[in-house]
Amino acid sequence: MNHVFFLSPSEWKKTREEKQFDYIVIGTGFCALGFIERVINKDDNARILLIERGSFFLPEHVQNLPTSYQKLLLKQALKTFPWTLSSKTLNLNKYIKWQHGIIPFFGGGSTLWSAWCPEPTTAEMNGWPQATIKAAQDYFKTAKRLLNVVGANDEETGNIFDHWQNKLTERLKQNLQDIKSATRVQHAQIAVGTPTITSTDVEKFSTPGPLLDEVIKCQEEAKKRQIDSRLSIVTECTVTRIWQQENQATALETTRGVVNVGDSKVILAMGSIPSTTLVLNSFPQAKNAGKRFTAHFISAIVARIPRDDFLEIFDWEESIKNDLRKKNLELAAIYFAGVDQETQGQYHIQLSAISDPDPTNKTHIDTAARNMPDVVATASPKQLETSKDYIVFVCAVLGELFDNPGNGLQKNDGDDPTTNVTLQVLETDKDLSLWDTMDKATFEVLEQGLSPKGKDRVEYWHGDPDTGQWKRERHKTRVPGLVHEASTMWIGDDEEAVVGLDYRLKGVENVYITGASLWPTGGSWNPTLTMVALAQHLADNLTEQAKEIKT
């Protein structure tokens, strides 16, 4: 890989000693791709150095690979947790016990993510600066294009998202008023499009392939123009500290030597906690960095409803009904959002439906594994094998952890500048109120919004996914791990904000922030689409500035 896509040791030495760049990007996830792809296409002369802490691991999303790779999703060993949890987090909370780790490899979490990409409404970006809301909305279209986001009902998702996808979504829309806290329901927007190939399966998006495409494009261009390639990537290189003089980043201290910044702009494109850790260790003038923390807490609910209950009310031809009853595997992915009226906290349900009359069929098993809307929140083989005459509904319910000044990330006395932070997350009455509301709403969605014959026909899975059983009694699991960490370096036009509306870290002339650490409030919506939209906006802003300087 080093001799084709990445810098070899000798090339890295030469790069550090001799080369100058317009941008130094740290991290290889969604924001890095959104920024780099945009700059390369907008500025024919821009030179970019991309630094990745990990090695090359997966070439694309795990669901696009043979099914054996999906075992990786079950192993927390793939993740690293470069922080310490506070004693209060460990001892005082009833439900929240830990924060999901980061994936320290090329492409980061993009090779293992769910790929759900909802577009937040203006109301769902509550507490955000109007200018940032507008920027996100202006760039949602280009972000969707880059990520290959399509609706689950789109023709690009194939026949597997067909009959149930449309009818179940329609039914929920018709019954939306029956769920008091509901705000909207729609076909899930997922990054699974295949715009350049004809495929019967979805292709979940990840960044390694597109980033390597940019490398090849720049290499071919360099050959024609007889110049150095405009995009250089170094892997297995962790930035431990950024040195500064007179509020200007001047050098990066890394595990593979010092990199001079020169006239470069430094773009932090890692996850929220690693980027904030780097800022806390490098820029004491960023006084409010880490003083906010938001994330999403999760409930998991698995239910089933007899398939014939739906077939009796849906006006399909008998041949279609027979196929759905006896042989066709079909899926559905629905996004359902709501708000707790008491606290105004947001939640959403990622609803995956699986209808499989032949769940032990090897073709069905492999097809479902490839196309499942969320490969982590999905039905187990035991749940499907015991539900041949049912539709199984897997609900991943995400709620907004918000508005608690006791939550945050602080630098501690540890010696390692990549891990010397303490994360504190404390449950509040507001959080628990929202959690109750979203659990209640999920049961209402299943029993009132979906089930044609009411709650008595809904059964819930109790116990371990592989050894449990179906029962009529409601059952939920409040997951102890948080996801979608955010808000540690929030953007704003007020004095308290850590980052200005131009994405520049306040108090530092040439360091810019991307990703969910910018979120003033977390909402409940999955952050990736908005992260990429704002990274593209930053790329365009800096490209325009560069053009103005040159002219």
The answer to whether position 11 is within a domain reads no
The whole-number pLDDT of residue 296 equals 98
Report which of 483, 470, 113 is spatially closest to residue 302, judged by C-alpha positions.
470
% of the chain surpassing 70 pLDDT: 98
pLDDT band at 54 (very low <50, low <70, confident <90, very high): very high
- What residue numbers bound the domain in which 483 lies? 23-60+82-550
The whole-number pLDDT of residue 356 equals 97
Q: Into how many domains does the chain fold?
A: 1
Residue 37 has pLDDT above 90, yes or no: yes
The answer to whether position 2 is within a domain reads no
The whole-number pLDDT of residue 3 equals 72
Residue 454 has pLDDT above 70, yes or no: yes
Residue 50 has pLDDT above 60, yes or no: yes
The answer to whether position 465 is within a domain reads yes
pLDDT band at 186 (very low <50, low <70, confident <90, very high): very high
The whole-number pLDDT of residue 302 equals 98
Task: Supply the pTM of this predicted model.
Answer: 0.96
The answer to whether position 75 is within a domain reads no
Q: Which residue has the higher pLDDT, 492 or 159?
A: 492
Give 317-327 pLDDT, tens digit per residue: 999 999 999 99
Give 479-533 pLDDT, tens digit per residue: 999 999 999 999 999 999 999 999 999 999 999 999 999 999 999 999 999 999 9
The whole-number pLDDT of residue 464 equals 94
The answer to whether position 8 is within a domain reads no
pLDDT band at 77 (very low <50, low <70, confident <90, very high): low
The whole-number pLDDT of residue 223 equals 94
For residues 364-392, give the mean pLDDT: 91
| Packed helices 130-147 and 528-550: angle between N→C axes, nearest 10 degrees | 100
Residue 374: C-alpha distances to residues 2, 63, 96, 327, 385 (Å): 33, 10, 22, 23, 19
Distance CA 527, CA 34 (A): 14
Residue 322: C-alpha distances to residues 73, 115, 164, 462 (Å): 35, 32, 14, 30
CB 411 within 8 A of CB 280: yes
Residue 398 sits in a domain whose CATH number is 3.50.50.60
The whole-number pLDDT of residue 78 equals 81
Residue 267 has pLDDT above 80, yes or no: yes
Question: Residue 434, exposed/middle/buried by CB under 10 A (0-12, 13-18, 19+)?
Answer: buried
Distance CA 350, CA 348 (A): 7
Distance CA 154, CA 523 (A): 26
Q: Which two tokens stand for residue 543?
A: 């490209």
pLDDT band at 122 (very low <50, low <70, confident <90, very high): very high
The answer to whether position 485 is within a domain reads yes
CB 421 within 8 A of CB 290: yes
Mean pLDDT score across all residues of the chain: 95
The answer to whether position 479 is within a domain reads yes
Distance CA 189, CA 316 (A): 25
The answer to whether position 73 is within a domain reads no
For residues 82-107, give the mean pLDDT: 97
pLDDT band at 30 (very low <50, low <70, confident <90, very high): very high
Which residues have CB under 8 Å from 412's CB, separation 6+? 84, 420, 421, 422
Q: Which residue has the higher pLDDT, 241 or 74?
A: 241
Residue 345 has pLDDT above 70, yes or no: yes
E strands, 72-111, where? 84-85, 98-99
> How is the chain split among helix, strand and coil, in percent rounded to 5?
35, 25, 40
Q: Which two tokens stand for residue 388?
A: 């041949």
**Phi, psi of 183, rounded to the nearest 5 degrees:** -120, -35
pLDDT band at 374 (very low <50, low <70, confident <90, very high): confident
The total of other beta-carbon atoms located within 10 Å of residue 471's CB is 12
pLDDT band at 343 (very low <50, low <70, confident <90, very high): very high
Q: How far apart are the first and last CA of the chain?
A: 39
Give 88-100 pLDDT, tens digit per residue: 999 999 999 999 9
pLDDT band at 198 (very low <50, low <70, confident <90, very high): low
